[in-house]
Structure 1
Amino acid sequence: VNETYQLANQVDNKQLDLESEDTESIDATKLSRFIEINSLHLVTEYNPVTVIGLFNSMIQIHLLLIMNKASPEYEESILRYQKAAKLFQGKILFILVDSGVKENGKVISFFKLKASQLPALAIYQTLDDEWDTLTMAEVSVEHVKNFCDGFLEGKRPRENHESEDKTPKVEL
C-alpha cells in the first residue's frame, strides 16, 4: 500500500507530498526533517528575527547572496537565486543578505568582503566554520550551482586567495 503524507506549506502556499512505500519506514526523525525543510522559504532574508532560526536549522550549509535590494539587478537576480535554491533544497539553506541595510555590515565584514565586491555569494558550514566567497558581476543559476557543487565536493577556492592578496590589484 502506498501512502502519502501531505504538508500544507503556508510559506510558499503549496501542498507537498511525502510518499512512502511502507509507512513503518517513516520515523519521527524523517518526518520532522521533511517538515522543517519544506516549511522554509526557498530563500530566507537575513534579519534579526530570522537569524535565530537560521542558525538552529538542521541544514548545516548556508549560502548567502549578499546584494543590495535597491539595485536595478535585484529582481532578476533573486529569481535566478530562487531557481538555484530548488536544486539544493534540503542540502543548503539559501539566504539573502541585503547589503543596503547598515546592520548587515557585520555579515559582510565577517566574510572579508568590501562593498565594491558585491554582489557576492558566501557559503558557510555551521559545524566547522568552513566558508568561502565568490564575487560576481551577475547572479546566475549556473554560477550558484557551480559554486555550491564545488563546496560540497570539498573545493575551497578561498584557500588560494592568499597568493592573490600579495599581488597589487589595479582598479580600472
Structure 2
Amino acid sequence: MEASPSRCLFLLFLFTCWLFLEVAAEVQGSSDGDSQEPVRLTDVPAAMEFLAAAEVAVIGFFQDLEIPVVSLFRSMVQKFQDVSFGISTASEILAHYNITGNTISLFRLVDNERLNVESEDIESIDDDKLSRFIAINSLHWVTEYNHVTAIGIFNSIVQIHLLLIMNKASSQYEESIQKYQKAAQLFQGKILFVLVDSSVKEHGKVISYFKLKDSQLPALAMYRTVDEEWDTLPIEEVSVEQVQNFCDGFLAGKLLRENRDAKEKTPKVEL
C-alpha cells in the first residue's frame, strides 16, 4: 500500500520538526552547560580581564579541583545569575592574588573591595554559608535594599549611601534605574547607590526615617553612616545630571533640607 503524497509531506514535516527540536535541545543544553560552569582562568591577564568586566565576581582559588568544596562552588553559578564566577588552580594567579591556601574571594567594582573565605573556613563551609556569604556581599552599581543586602550595605567601606526610593511597578522605573546606574558609576568608591522599593510595606520605616511622605515619592535620600547626617530630594523623574548635582552638593556639605526647613520656619507676613 503506497502512502499518499499528502501523508508523506506530513511525515516529512514531523521528522523535520523532530530534528529541529533535537538540535535546539542540544544547543540549549550546550548553552546551559556553559553558563552553569565557572570561567576557567589560566593566567593573570585573563583573571584581570575577567574581574574588570564584572560588577561582582567570585573566584575560587584552589590547589586541587578534586576537593569537596569545588563541587559546592560550582553549584553557586546557578543560584546567582547576576554574579560572575571564575575558578583557577594556576600558580601564577594564586601568587598574584596572594593566595596561600584554598580560598574563595568575592570582588566588587562598586567599592573596589575584596572579601575572602579563607582556607580554614572552607573546610567547614556548606551550601547555606557560602550562599549567604555571596548574597550579603554582592553589592552592584545599584543594590536593591532588602533584609539580606542590608547587612552588606552597612558593612561596606563606603560611608555615604544614596537611596532612590520609588515604586518598582511604576511606568518610569526601567528608564529611571538605567539613569541611576549611569550616575552610580560617576561616584565609584565615594557613594553607594541603593534602590528602595516603596511598594514594599516593610520599607515604610525607611521612608519615615527620612521624613518623607508618599506624595513626595519618588525621592532621593542621602545618608552618611559615621555621623547619621542625611538629606532628601523629592523628584518627578530621575536624570543623571540631577543625581550628580545632589551628590556633589552633599559631598560639599550643602544640605537641601536645611533650606527647606528654614523656609518653613520663616513666619509669613501679611501685606
TM-score (norm 1): 0.78
Higher Rg: 2
Q: Does 1:126 align with 2:225?
A: yes
Q: Among residues 113, 123, 133, which one is paired with 1:35 in the alignment?
A: 113
Deviations 1:20-68 (A, max 9, x none): xxxxxx99xxx9962349x621000000111111111110000000000
Taking the aligned partners of 1:62 and 1:132, their CA distance within structure 2 comes to 11
> Aligned with 1:164: secondary structure?
helix
Residue ranges of structure 1 left out of the alignment (5+ in a row): 16-25
> Residue 131 and residue 14 in structure 1: after superposition, are their counterparts in 2 closer, same or farther (change >3 A)?
farther
Q: Among residues 203, 207, 217, which one is paired with 1:108 in the alignment?
A: 207
Q: Among residues 147, 154, 159, which one is paired with 2:253 in the alignment?
A: 154
Q: Among residues 234, 237, 240, which one is paired with 1:141 in the alignment?
A: 240
Taking the aligned partners of 2:191 and 2:231, their CA distance within structure 1 comes to 14
4+ residue segments displaced more than 3 Å:
8-15
Taking the aligned partners of 1:36 and 1:124, their CA distance within structure 2 comes to 24
TM-score (norm 2): 0.51
> Aligned with 1:93: secondary structure?
strand
> Residue 14 and residue 166 in structure 1: after superposition, are their counterparts in 2 closer, same or farther (change >3 A)?
farther
Please, which moves more after superposition, 6-15 or 82-91? 6-15
Would you say how many aligned residue pairs link Structure 1 and Structure 2?
153
> Residue 36 and residue 148 in structure 1: after superposition, are their counterparts in 2 closer, same or farther (change >3 A)?
farther
Partner of 2:160: 61
Partner of 1:21: none
Q: Among residues 38, 47, 50, which one is paired with 2:146 in the alignment?
A: 47
Taking the aligned partners of 2:220 and 2:196, their CA distance within structure 1 comes to 10
Contact 2:220 2:234 in 1 (8 A): yes
Q: Among residues 167, 186, 193, which one is paired with 1:87 in the alignment?
A: 186
Give the counterpart letter for 2:254 in structure 1.
Answer: K
Residue ranges of structure 2 left out of the alignment (5+ in a row): 1-43, 58-81, 87-96, 99-106, 116-137
Give the counterpart letter for 2:248 in structure 1.
Answer: D
Contact 1:12 1:41 in 2 (8 A): no
Partner of 2:174: 75
Q: Which has the higher contact order (CA 8 A, sep 6+)?
A: 1
Higher strand share: 1
Taking the aligned partners of 1:117 and 1:46, their CA distance within structure 2 comes to 19
Taking the aligned partners of 2:161 and 2:179, their CA distance within structure 1 comes to 17
Identity %: 65
Taking the aligned partners of 2:231 and 2:165, their CA distance within structure 1 comes to 13
Give the counterpart letter for 2:112 in structure 1.
Answer: F
> Residue 54 and residue 98 in structure 1: after superposition, are their counterparts in 2 closer, same or farther (change >3 A)?
same
